[in-house]
């Protein structure tokens, strides 16, 4: 049987050879087949931060994208690499998890989650390659720091730290003080100056407060403070003296934001006659104060973990403040002195009708989230009316403005135009005085109230509807976070309410002394 099978196979093979030779009795003319040249290997650069070391890794260009060697990149970025020759599978891992790719397959896996990518990894030689923009995005999910790709320079920045705001330093110059903020990479920034604060916000910024010195007593700078928010980072510089509008310049080469601070030179003015002399606020103006305890009645405000209501706390502080200011010789009115609901617009209307010289609105802040988040948010902060400079101040205003949902529909429509644009032209006339009153309150609270810390050094600004339309300097005080269990307990304590009122009273008195000589 085996002999018969062997004979049949042999005959079959010979028949095929014979047919092929007959069909090609006339050999075809030779042609030059067109074969696409393989992409030439070049290099891309991996730059490590903060040590600044750079290494070249294999790369090639295809379809307008730079493909980089995944194993070479992984080694520099701190990932372990293993591959299976039989399944064309590569696994990259570190302490945070694993990323799995398959050659020429658009699907990849991060731990147990499968996703798709428009350009699959391709093999060239012994290594797999992936377009750099997708590589930094995918590997960035498991990298302990941060990754970024610069197409213009073909550079992958590997930040070994999870921070991109690296340091703040200053030095005295002949004509002022130069503050330098070193970044891991370019970040959007905004610089705001309201004495004594120069505040720089970095969108997407991540900073390590321990790496930035608080004491910076050089030139016009007294100290520096830092704050980390969910989507931004803030550096606040405290001035020893007034400065000119800061000049800000960013050097992409050194990734340094430079802020030039020049002392403000007050020019002497000739003395004005009694008939023409003008001051921002004279003695006849700083006599009447309206105290506004926030919320009330059907609006409890924020509620603490054990049920303490914001409306109760701020009313207690407000009543104490009225008594202290009246004892100091002020005429004081309260928007409410009992548990009643007052619409936002009626509060400033009341202050205008009473021809108030100052308007002080008292509140308590709150945050949602889990127990850890609520326990970590604490501290007081003072605000004046202006466009918010950061997302955090904007969120505070949104929480306080939410009370309009409890007002009549006819009143709600009045706030529609306030969503994005300030309408209080009159309030803008007192912007500087409102800032100064905020600073006095912030300093007085810091000096007299040790149990509750500052939320941050410096005052805030946002579009609080309760301050809109006030024809006088006006401020909003967030006395602490009632959502924080410890601060809820403190804010409900009558002794702390007394101390809080005393600090506010002291600030109002100092403000009066500043502008009208204490008369």
- How do the pLDDT tens digits run along the chain, 519 residues long? 555 555 554 444 444 444 444 444 444 454 545 545 567 889 999 988 767 789 999 999 998 899 999 999 999 999 999 988 788 899 999 888 999 999 999 999 999 999 999 999 999 988 999 999 999 999 988 887 778 899 888 999 887 767 788 888 888 887 788 999 988 777 888 888 877 888 888 887 888 766 666 667 788 888 888 887 777 888 888 888 888 888 888 887 788 899 999 888 765 544 444 333 334 444 456 899 999 999 999 989 999 999 999 999 999 999 999 999 999 999 999 999 999 999 887 888 899 899 999 999 999 988 887 888 888 888 898 888 765 555 566 666 666 656 655 555 555 444 443 333 333 334 456 777 888 888 889 888 888 888 888 776 557 776 676 677 778 888 999 999 999 999 999 999 999 999 999 999 999 998 988 777 544
The beta strand positions in 393-459, using DSSP E, are: none
Which CATH homologous superfamily contains domain 288-516? Zn-dependent exopeptidases (3.40.630.40)
Rounded to two decimals, the pTM is: 0.49
* Rounded Cα distance, 130 and 101, in Å: 10
Integer angstrom CA distances of residue 410 from 66, 415, 437? 60, 10, 34
pLDDT at residue number 279: 40
> What pLDDT, on the 0 to 100 scale, is given for residue 390?
56
CATH superfamily, domain 42-159, is Copper amine oxidase-like, N-terminal domain (3.30.457.10)
Here the tokens at position 207 are 């900073």
Buried b (16+ CB within 10 A) or exposed e, 189-209: bebbbbebbbbbbbeebbbee
Q: Which sequence spans correspond to the domains of the chain?
A: 42-159, 165-261, 288-516
Question: φ, ψ for residue 418 (rounded to 5)?
Answer: -90, 0
Q: In CATH, what class is 165-261?
A: mainly beta
Q: How far is CA 299 from the centre of its chain?
A: 30
């Amino acid at each position: 049987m085996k002999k018969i099978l062997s004979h049949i196979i042999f005959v079959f093979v010979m028949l095929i050879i014979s047919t092929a030779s007959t069909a090609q009795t006339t050999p075809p003319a030779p042609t030059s087949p067109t074969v696409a040249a393989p992409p030439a290997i070049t290099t891309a650069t991996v730059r490590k931060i903060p040590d600044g070391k750079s290494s070249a890794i294999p790369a090639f260009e295809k379809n307008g994208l730079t493909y980089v060697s995944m194993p070479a990149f992984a080694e520099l970025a701190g990932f372990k690499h293993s591959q299976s020759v039989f399944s064309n599978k590569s696994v990259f891992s570190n302490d945070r998890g694993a990323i799995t790719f398959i050659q020429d397959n658009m699907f990849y896996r991060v731990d147990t989650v499968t996703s798709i990518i428009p350009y699959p990894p391709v093999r060239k030689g012994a290594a797999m390659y992936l377009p750099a923009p997708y590589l930094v995005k995918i590997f960035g999910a498991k990298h302990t720091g941060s990754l970024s790709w610069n197409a213009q320079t073909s550079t992958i920045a590997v930040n070994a730290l999870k921070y991109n705001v690296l340091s703040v330093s200053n030095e005295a110059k002949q004509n002022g003080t130069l503050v330098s903020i070193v970044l891991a990479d370019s970040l959007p920034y905004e610089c705001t100056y309201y004495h004594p604060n120069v505040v720089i916000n970095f969108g997407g910024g991540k900073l390590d407060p321990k790496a930035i010195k608080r004491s910076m007593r050089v030139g016009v700078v007294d100290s520096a403070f830092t704050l980390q928010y969910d989507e931004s980072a803030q550096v606040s510089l405290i001035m020893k003296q007034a400065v000119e509008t800061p000049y800000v310049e960013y050097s992409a080469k050194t990734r340094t934001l430079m802020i030039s601070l020049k002392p403000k030179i007050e020019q002497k003015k000739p003395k004005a006659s009694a008939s023409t002399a003008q001051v921002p606020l004279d003695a006849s103006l700083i006599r009447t104060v309206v105290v506004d305890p926030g919320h009330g009645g059907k609006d409890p405000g924020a509620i603490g973990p054990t049920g303490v209501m914001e409306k109760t706390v701020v009313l207690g502080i407000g009543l104490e403040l009225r008594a202290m200011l009246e004892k100091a010789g002020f005429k004081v009115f309260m928007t409410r002195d009992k548990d009643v609901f007052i619409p936002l617009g009626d509060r400033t209307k009341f202050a205008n009708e009473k021809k108030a010289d100052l308007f002080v609105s008292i509140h308590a802040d709150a945050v949602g989230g889990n127990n850890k988040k609520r326990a970590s948010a604490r501290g007081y902060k003072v605000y004046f009316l202006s466009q918010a400079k950061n997302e955090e101040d904007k969120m505070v205003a949104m929480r306080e403005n939410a009370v309009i949902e409890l007002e009549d529909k006819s009143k709600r429509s009045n706030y529609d135009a306030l969503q994005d644009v300030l309408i209080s032209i009159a309030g803008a006339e007192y912007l500087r005085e409102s800032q100064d009153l905020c600073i006095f309150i912030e300093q007085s609270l810091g000096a007299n109230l040790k149990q509750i810390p500052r939320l941050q050094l410096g005052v805030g600004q946002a579009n609080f509807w309760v301050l809109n339309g006030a024809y006088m300097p006006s401020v909003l005080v967030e006395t602490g976070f009632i959502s924080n269990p410890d601060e809820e307990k403190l804010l409900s304590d009558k002794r702390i309410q007394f101390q809080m009122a005393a600090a506010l009273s002291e600030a109002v008195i100092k403000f009066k002394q500043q502008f009208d000589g204490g008369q």
